[in-house]
Amino acid sequence: MEKQAKNSNINIKKTVLTGDRPTGRLHLGHYVGSIQNRIALQDKIGNSIDNAFYMLADIQALTDNSDNPEKVSNNVLEVAMDNIACGLDPKKTTFFIQSCIPEIAELTVLFLNLVTLARLRRNPTVKNEMKQKGFGEDVPAGFLSYPISQTADILFCGGSIVPVGEDQLPVLEQANEIVDKFNSIYGETFSRIEPVLSNAPRLVGIDGNAKASKSLGNAIYISDSYEEIKRKVMAMYTDPEHIHVNDPGKVEGNVVFTYLDIFDTDKAEVANLKQQYKKGGLGDVAIKNRLIEVLEKIIAPIRQKRLELEKNPEKIMEILKQGNEK
């Protein structure tokens, strides 16, 4: 009974740990998949949450970018600024850089003994990303084992609440296997990890690909200009059979409607537009124009705040330095 109570995190103080790989600027998938939940969780500090940490995962980014260290180091500040511009508050959430905390690497070495190579190869996220990157048998050992170091990222600071996108669920499942195995061999030490998903846990790419991703270059970035938003929305995948305005159109799998469902707050109007589109008589340009304005309304204040932050990179460096020390 006692063991069960510990494992289900009853009466245990909760710490949030989340992060991004500094491999490029952040996009709307990050915003709706994870950042909005990070912001909601930092506002629960003092109530159900004790502490919140935000990590720039530069070591993890190197696992598939070892030949391009500049890309990783240059993006540390960019990704930190993206999060602050969205509303993650360094006064509430502690920002830190993975490579500045050697204890994470130490813990990773211990965890490496608890996971088999076969299990790593079976992880659906790793499998999928390996395919996407074309690694085949020549996968770097560091990349194959990133779920292990990600487990150390979460556990070293006592983290258990992890706001993530859906693509990370298999990684957290594997992390919990490590927690269980460690606890059963060495005694109750770590709490099980609870993923926190949003209501848009996997935003599709503008090309209709299953996931908007920095690496696939199919995303609208939260720092994009109005012109970039316009260009990307105009290029969005809709219904290839909807050629003339009067043709009946498909709503399922139509990226413009997928985005309107997530980002447009006027649900009744979206339902109305869907009906018109299905019947015929509503053109792609009309729904795209609506989406452009909906997205601009969300992105404009973020872009504005980001431009302010860009003027003072030393201030961001100081935030990261203080977070590393903490």
Which positions touch ligand ATP (CB under 6 A)?
20-21, 23, 29-30, 33-34, 164-165, 167-168, 201-203, 211-215
* Contact predicate 236/288, CB 8 Å: yes
**Smallest distance, ligand ATP to C-beta of residue 184, A:** 28
**Smallest distance, ligand ATP to C-beta of residue 203, A:** 4
CB closer to ligand ATP out of 215 and 324: 215
- Cβ atoms within 10 A of the Cβ of 283, count? 16
**Smallest distance, ligand ATP to C-beta of residue 254, A:** 17
The continuous run of DSSP H or E covering 141 comes out as helix 141-144
Q: What is the DSSP string of 234-272?
A: HT----TT--STTS----TT-HHHHHHHHH-S-HHHHHH
**Smallest distance, ligand ATP to C-beta of residue 255, A:** 12
How many Å apart are CA 278 and CA 254, to the nearest integer? 11
CB closer to ligand ATP out of 88 and 282: 88
Half-sphere exposure of 302 (CA within 13 A, CB side): 25
Q: What is the largest CA-CA distance in the chain?
A: 68
How many Å apart are CA 213 and CA 218, to the nearest integer? 6
CB closer to ligand ATP out of 23 and 51: 23
CB closer to ligand ATP out of 63 and 277: 63
CB under 8 A, 24+ apart: contacts of 246-249: 246/280, 246/281, 247/280, 248/278, 248/279, 248/280, 249/277, 249/278, 249/280, 249/282, 249/284
**Smallest distance, ligand ATP to C-beta of residue 41, A:** 13
**Smallest distance, ligand ATP to C-beta of residue 213, A:** 4
CB closer to ligand ATP out of 30 and 303: 30
CB closer to ligand ATP out of 37 and 191: 37
**Smallest distance, ligand ATP to C-beta of residue 134, A:** 14
The whole-angstrom distance between residue 46's C-alpha and the CA centroid of its chain comes to: 25
CB closer to ligand ATP out of 33 and 159: 33
* Contact predicate 13/64, CB 8 Å: no
Quick one: which of 124, 99, 118, 110 has its CA closest to 178? 110
